[in-house]
Structure 1
């Protein structure tokens, strides 16, 4: 036993890997299936608790199987165990949108297979010779249930389970060899640089100890410390000591995913042997002009499950780094969907680099990693300051009357029942609009839900399910399908509604929008943040740190650290100019600002970025600046930029140029870009970075009461300012200067939020 490698796998994972066959067909699945499934389970389990005197839900089951030099630990959660009249039933619950009349006993082999595996484990451990299985289908729209019961003796269950285990054997032997090789390489792995930078070792050690204690760490580590390698290295070392089973590196932007890939490659250059993968969004990696994931419209979906296992076995035997290019290469050659291939490959990887939504968004999260095996993940959350707004968006949903009306026009005369269902929703939204109009405002918000609309939406979903099956390729089909998934998402998010939510209604002429707005995402995030093996949330700007702990699912037990900048403080000169830049005064200060910008950049020539508070004000300042001083060597950020346009914009910044770039604060150029040396020597930041005044912002302000204005406007604004300042000094040899233009920077509130190394120097009266 001592010399054997222990490998843990889930019942669901093994069953799906061995028995799944056929083609990908995602026509009616949508992006809410993970959340829908969870809700279905909870509802039926609650019903069963009242129905049966002896009922247990979510029962963890685990059994060991010996394969050569491997102990395979198979575990999972049985949805329910019912004991009635000395009979034991293992219940497996499946959510569906199909009419239950279309589902018979043999509807899906995999559903029975999963339940049979659980029944075998329970039967063996409880010395039961005969055991029953109850397979229950829960219709999401109607909330009806259809169940099938079967009885098995333990011997036939044993034969079935061992037939699955024997087929899975080659995968287990391969995985054990790869883990052994990985751990041996980690034992000898050293930090990939000759020495640690200032603060870098402290961060790495704290990350390692946090993982060791299965805890949560919030770390503010300024630019230059080397956050990426300082978190990945201790996480890899932890894996080698059997702490957690995989590392999931979560990012908000493509550029930070690239930096993470480079960090992993540095460790591989030093001898690390591990399998890493970068997940790319479906719409970016899809080979087709339009994502239609079904065998009729896509050759890469056809017979996908019949082919994929052999390809994956070959890939993980031959390769270690699965970048987008590598995945696309195999997918094209083998005629496989590149997106699904990347998801299936990730199950065999030690390190997964992906966007936040794969972990947190209830409509898109990877169920295998964040529903079933969340406690096996070491989470590294990069640029954690971005997660606040992203989380609010992930856990919110809305419905627009205009879209409903558009689909009504499309299906008029084609589907009477669907037309009637949509008309009911439209009439309800008209009543909601009248409610707002009576207040003589353009918006209202309340802590109560419009529960009646959920019933109307469910009727629509039921009718639309049939329409989508029968009306493929008809005119307006895509618009109907899009509304279908939006309304499904709306009722799914409604299941999460709690005191952390409000209902926001906004009207614009005849249109009305009803939004389930998640004001405080901490409770929803905590399930993943706290449920993981360990979580490290890090950023150059987590100020004040208690604000982020409060909003990102931390608690009193969470560790926190704040590291000083590793650069010499004299390398960055921070100037201030106390001009009144409040919204009502901005128009009066346009000429004053243009003069300040011109004189500051003239004082020391080189490349500068000017960050303005909005696109509207940006365009006014830029136009006036060009009138006064000419447009030579000036560029201006457009509101909509393709990836190629961003690259073109940044390519203007060379060591020898004198570019003055006008940008918006909080935009694509105020964080995540790297212009070292003389490619950028200064930033001019106008205003205090406040998010645009909005209904959502005011709701946040009201929700947090005495902390409300700070939480809604000041702290998010300070974060944007610090990110923009952080563009100037990128290496220990860089020197630069910053001008902060706003009289609020001289108040005690703002001075207390600045990094200690900032000495705010009043810039001379140059006007």
Structure 2
């Protein structure tokens, strides 16, 4: 008897709602003490390290019996509230909350100050109860990091008034916490009964689901390569929902490389929800995609959805929690009903959602708010990384920063007098830095300390300007400031995982400096370590060691290579051993490549995709093909193709159609498009996909060699062949598809190359395939 299809172990859940809920003072006040407008006028915030140093400075100035970082714990009804007071002087019966800032003290927003007062009053109430005070002085200490001066605000309260304030906040939160605990208990019980939504798993699907479950249970990471068509999204979400109660998962993050990946995840969650278990699902979208008033500033004086945001947030939050299914449109409807900003309502609902679907950057970027929320709230999270082969390049971009000469010039022209001087000095230091440079492009293993000091001075001047005049925080000066801050932050972490680039140009606008990340692993290691489990899955994720090393996954990462449900008889793979697409040979290859494409089309007319290594090669190959085979319809990808044109390109692949689509390997049509059946019956790949040989890639090769001992493979070979396999994967999408793949380069005949191609491919050399060519695949 075959095993039961629903073999993921069930969670043991109880519907009993816990009698006591634990909450931090910070979370308690953030929930119930914010009021008034949402105000995002830019005020430079100190970094975490600057804030810690500022706290230490203030605490060091105090004497006598003053105690720092005092742990507090109080129970109020069904809430257990925990916190840590910044400073407490028992002799004076005085508690302090320390905040650091830059610039104008009056620029600190009223809603922020109200939150600060709420926090210190809570600490005051807890200290009265713990230390037996009948009254207490509560103080807000604001430290100006630029001057070192303190601004102190004080209130004197009796024990009863502080307790009244504390209990009011607890009452507000307690009712919500009780309902949330009920939601979690009901959900856990329903998920324990959840069954796989189809009669049986597809081939390979259960294997993937069980591996994801084991990784979550074992608190390990997983690299999983699984072919297209088995239902990877459903196979990864289902086991994590099953693991939720038994293994105390608070949330699942489903992260995608592209916007097109989100609907697939949402569809899978809808299917799972039909089984009776309905987790609260939230879709995160970019701010520019959901802003209702893109021409307005984000504060109450300019935007109606920011005005009174925190006053209307409780009702909006309650309805959103009740709705439960919060895709982009549903969240927008709730937000507009309550006249609050959809983007910031989504940020609030991350705290109260069970599954969150969004882009990689929400978790892996240096300033990722999902990761920050997880750390701050102590969530136990399982992370799913869809199409994970994309994470390497995306992460490199996240940890790269550049400064453009033209942007500095524009910022200097727009700057007030107090900022213009520091920017001018930065310009001169930049000029000195590049005076000795002879090549247009140069790199270094260190960033000159003098340049960094000048950059930091300019950043300080810009920060003080924007702190004093927050309404002026827009335009070229602000844009350059953000770039400069990002550069300075990455400079603090600069090491051999990155390189310092200097690019010359004929004009100032063409000059640039950059910190270019080559190996993102050191930045991502903490993101993998702090989650309960991270599963990276894709149809092309081999060799596993390459992705594990480059991305910084743990050494004990579990590995799974799911066998393909496809068979070699479905896809005829032929290598053209007499074609070279090396750069020096491309011009001479055009006629032969055109004739191979033409001969295949003549044997079996239909829709084909032809992939080339660059737009230049594509244009020449398309022209050569049209000259030699003028009767065959062709259409081609172009540089900077607009979204509507991309849709038009794909739409040309109609059922029963005929023609050749010319595309760039690794571009928009090399992955993520689905053309089953006769919409696509074959592909030609005229390239190994190897990255361009240039100075940056050679430096990358050296770093990869130094770190991992496989410089050429990690820089050129593996990334190139990954694009080839992705492109070829457009042909066979279902177990009913058949087709042909022509690999147009003699290097594909090498044994070491063929070993890296999918195991189910039966690769034939041109001579070996001649007999098959006389009997084409039907």
Using the size of structure 1 for normalisation, the TM-score is 0.88
Q: Distance in 2 between matches of 1:522 and 1:49?
A: 37
Q: What is the Cα-based RMSD across aligned positions, in Å? A: 3.5
Q: Indicate which of 6, 22, 40 corresponds to 2:50.
A: 40
> How far 1:749 moved relative to its partner?
2.8
Q: Distance in 2 between matches of 1:389 and 1:139?
A: 39
Structure 2 counterpart of 1:430: 431
Structure 2 counterpart of 1:589: 589
Answering whether residue 18 of structure 2 is matched by residue 17 of structure 1, we say no
Q: Distance in 1 between matches of 2:258 and 2:351?
A: 23
CA contact (8 A) 1:37 1:95 kept: no
> How far 1:534 moved relative to its partner?
1.7
> How far 1:569 moved relative to its partner?
3.1
In the alignment, structure 1 segments of 5+ residues that lack a partner are none
CA contact (8 A) 2:95 2:138 kept: yes
SS at match of 2:504: strand
Structure 1 counterpart of 2:749: 746
Structure 2 counterpart of 1:700: 700
Greater mean deviation of Cα atoms: 507-516 or 143-152: 143-152
Q: What are the superposed Cα offsets for residues 273-325 of structure 1, whole Å, 9 maximum, x if unpaired?
A: 211011111111112344632233322222212112211212222x1211111
> How far 1:504 moved relative to its partner?
1.4
Structure 2 counterpart of 1:711: 714
> How far 1:565 moved relative to its partner?
0.8
CA contact (8 A) 1:609 1:660 kept: yes
Q: Indicate which of 208, 216, 231 corresponds to 1:211.
A: 216
Structure 2 counterpart of 1:384: 388
> How far 1:149 moved relative to its partner?
8.5
Structure 2 counterpart of 1:630: 630
SS at match of 1:302: coil
> How far 1:131 moved relative to its partner?
8.8
Q: What are the superposed Cα offsets for residues 297-356 of structure 1, whole Å, 9 maximum, x if unpaired?
A: 322222212112211212222x12111111222333333222112212222111100001
> How far 1:757 moved relative to its partner?
1.4
CA contact (8 A) 1:581 1:741 kept: yes
Q: Indicate which of 229, 234, 237 corresponds to 1:232.
A: 237
Q: What are the superposed Cα offsets for residues 564-620 of structure 1, whole Å, 9 maximum, x if unpaired?
A: 112233212222113221222222212222222222333322211111111222222
Greater mean deviation of Cα atoms: 691-700 or 149-158: 149-158
Structure 2 counterpart of 1:639: 639
CA contact (8 A) 1:251 1:356 kept: yes
Q: Indicate which of 762, 766, 777 corresponds to 1:763.
A: 766
Greater mean deviation of Cα atoms: 163-172 or 123-132: 123-132
> How far 1:55 moved relative to its partner?
12
> How far 1:684 moved relative to its partner?
1.0
Answering whether residue 486 of structure 2 is matched by residue 489 of structure 1, we say yes
Q: 1:45 to 1:693 in 2, by over 3 A?
A: farther
Structure 1 counterpart of 2:448: 450
Structure 2 counterpart of 1:516: 515
Q: 1:357 to 1:154 in 2, by over 3 A?
A: farther
Structure 2 counterpart of 1:335: 339
Structure 2 counterpart of 1:188: 193
In the alignment, structure 2 segments of 5+ residues that lack a partner are 1-13, 774-778
Q: Indicate which of 360, 367, 390 corresponds to 1:363.
A: 367
CA contact (8 A) 1:221 1:564 kept: yes
SS at match of 2:357: strand
Q: 1:55 to 1:199 in 2, by over 3 A?
A: farther
Structure 1 counterpart of 2:498: 501
Aligned pairs (5 A) from 1:317-716 = 317=322, 319-366=323-370, 368-373=372-377, 375-411=379-415, 415-436=416-437, 440-465=438-463, 468=466, 478-510=475-507, 511-578=510-577, 579-630=579-630, 632-705=632-705, 706-716=709-719
Structure 1 counterpart of 2:10: none
Q: 1:283 to 1:155 in 2, by over 3 A?
A: same
Q: Distance in 2 between matches of 1:722 and 1:341?
A: 41
Greater mean deviation of Cα atoms: 298-307 or 122-131: 122-131
Structure 1 counterpart of 2:730: 727
> How far 1:631 moved relative to its partner?
7.0
Q: Distance in 1 between matches of 2:71 and 2:722?
A: 43
Q: Distance in 1 between matches of 2:66 and 2:443?
A: 41
Structure 2 counterpart of 1:246: 251
Structure 2 counterpart of 1:256: 261
> How far 1:123 moved relative to its partner?
8.2
Q: 1:97 to 1:391 in 2, by over 3 A?
A: farther
Q: 1:351 to 1:597 in 2, by over 3 A?
A: same
SS at match of 2:187: helix
